[in-house]
């Protein structure tokens, strides 16, 4: 009996590692399967290279719809994100362009994490958010650095190709700073050791990710994820870095006998981050630095009403479902912003202030179908007096009667 042969290349069963039998006596060898796979992958890459990547101006315009203020940071991030994905889908492969991960530095509640969320939305790529404080050096109790990639894989529904072009946001990244500028001779489980552990995945490596989570063990199956095209965004408050910048500017002014510009006073340079406690190799993996400012009262008021997902719009939609029109007086919005500033947690404080005041109202209003308008006043928020409740005839309704 004649030895079976591959229907595509003609090689016999004995000449290949594997021969797969198909219908009607058709065979295909493992070599032709690999060639077909590579051809499909190549065609897929060509198709992806023609992907319409949003221009920097389009990315910023989208960010503007959701994020109030932070103009300089939005501009820097828009350009960096555009360049990153343009690099992935570049046609000319003669020149290899290194990727530029982004470091966001700003106070709590200034919008660092939210920017990453909106960016992933405009770019239509998966996003995974990790906390740097939960990661420890290999061999210690805690999460491996690969847990960052595992979260991205989960966010991509285990589609490796999607994960490999996603965004990994690492929050509280300043908390893995070492305790001083000089390398430590003792173990720093959650500091310098973690920075060292992150270097490879930040630059680009094939990470072995356990599909079920948890720590690795020798007999475990892994999913291989290439991190070279993943955009890493680090976020942190870097509390105290202002003093480092101030000290640097003082030395520069003394040394060169020149005035320091405002830009020099505000700009964060790599040496400032190294002085803070980040190792030089780690700083080098984040060439793009965007600084976010503390939000002002005016910006907090605008955040309440202007963005697409503004808190006031969200509450208005919830009341609208119950057939009630919700309004906030201007001084009520300013009161909410003032209270959020007192909490010192930026935009995060806005929801906390509103929710605390609105919970009883949201409990009682759905019980009375005669209420058609609800006007939130400063007195209601500050002194817990009743809000203005009106029926279809614009007659005042007592909240106790509405209960």
142 is in an annotated binding site: no
Q: Confirm whether residue 108 is marked as ligand binding.
A: yes
The answer to whether the CB of 322 falls within 8 A of the CB of 368 is no
DSSP reduced 3-state for 235: strand
Tokens of 179: 């305790």
Enumerate residues 6+ apart whose C-beta is below 8 A from 259: 253
Q: How far apart (Å, rounded) are the C-alpha atoms in residues 31 and 13? A: 12
Asked if residue 49 belongs to a known ligand binding site, the reply is: no
Task: Give the integer Cα–Cα distance in Å for 28 and 18.
Answer: 9
Do residues 230 and 168 make contact, with C-beta atoms less than 8 angstroms apart? yes
C-alpha dist (Å) from residue 305 to 292, 330, 372: 21, 11, 21
3-state DSSP call for residue 95? coil
Binding residue per annotation — 60?
no
Is 111 one of the annotated binding-site residues? yes
> Is residue 256 a known part of a binding site?
no
Query: Are the beta carbons of 134 and 143 closer than 8 angstroms?
Result: yes
Kind of pairing between the strands at 388-390 and 373-376: antiparallel
Q: Which residues pair with 374 in a beta bridge?
A: 326, 389
Query: Which residues, listed in sequence order, are joined to residue 258 by a DSSP beta bridge?
Result: none
Q: Rounded to whole angstroms, how far apart are CA atoms 159 and 163?
A: 6
6 annotated ligand-binding residue: yes
377 is an annotated ligand-binding site residue: no
CA distances from 206 to 83, 222, 224, 378, 386 (A): 22, 11, 6, 56, 60
Distance spanning both ends of the chain, measured CA to CA = 90
Query: 342: part of which helix (H) or strand (E)?
Result: helix 330-343
| Look-up of token digits 């219908």 | 23
Task: Give which of 360, 345, 356 is closest to 402, Cα–Cα.
Answer: 360
Binding residues: 6, 9, 29, 32, 107-114
Which residues are known binding-site members for ATP? 107-114
Indicate the annotated binding residues for Zn(2+).
6, 9, 29, 32
């Amino acid at each position: 009996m004649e030895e079976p042969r591959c229907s595509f290349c003609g090689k016999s069963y004995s000449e290949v590692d594997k021969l797969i039998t198909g219908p009607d006596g058709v065979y295909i060898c493992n070599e032709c399967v690999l060639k077909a796979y590579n051809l499909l992958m190549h065609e897929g890459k060509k198709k992806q290279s023609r992907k319409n990547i949003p221009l920097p101006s389009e990315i910023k315009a989208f960010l503007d719809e959701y994020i109030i203020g932070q103009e300089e940071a939005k501009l820097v991030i828009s350009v960096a994100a555009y360049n990153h994905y343009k690099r992935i889908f570049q046609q000319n492969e003669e020149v290899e362009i290194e990727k530029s991960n982004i470091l966001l530095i700003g106070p709590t509640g200034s919008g660092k994490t939210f920017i990453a969320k909106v960016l992933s939305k405009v770019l239509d790529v998966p996003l995974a958010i990790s906390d740097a404080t939960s990661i420890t050096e290999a061999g210690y109790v805690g999460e491996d650095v690969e847990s960052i990639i595992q979260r991205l894989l989960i966010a991509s529904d285990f589609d490796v190709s999607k994960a490999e072009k996603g965004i990994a946001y690492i929050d509280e990244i300043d908390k893995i700073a070492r305790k001083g500028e000089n390398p430590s001779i003792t173990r720093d489980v959650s500091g310098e050791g973690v920075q060292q552990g992150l270097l490879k995945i930040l630059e680009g490596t094939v990470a072995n990710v356990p599909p079920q989570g948890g720590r690795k063990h020798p007999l475990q199956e892994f999913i291989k994820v290439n991190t070279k095209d993943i955009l890493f965004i680090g976020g942190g408050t870097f509390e105290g870095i202002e003093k480092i910048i101030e000290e640097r500017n003082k030395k520069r002014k003394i040394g060169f006998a020149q005035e320091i510009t405002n830009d020099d006073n505000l700009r964060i340079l790599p040496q400032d981050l190294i002085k803070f406690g980040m190792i030089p190799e780690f700083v080098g993996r984040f060439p793009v630095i965007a600084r976010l400012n503390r939000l002002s009262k005016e910006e907090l008021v605008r955040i309440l009403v202007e963005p697409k997902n503004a808190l006031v719009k969200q509450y208005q939609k919830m009341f609208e479902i119950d057939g009630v029109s919700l309004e906030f007086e201007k001084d009520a919005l300013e009161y909410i912003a003032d209270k959020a500033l007192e909490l010192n947690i930026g935009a995060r404080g806005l929801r906390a202030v509103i929710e605390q005041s609105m919970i009883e109202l949201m409990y009682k209003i759905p019980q009375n179908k005669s209420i058609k308008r609800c006007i939130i006043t400063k007195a209601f928020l500050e002194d817990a007096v009743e809000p203005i409740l009106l029926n279809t005839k614009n007659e005042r309704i007592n909240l106790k009667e509405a209960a």
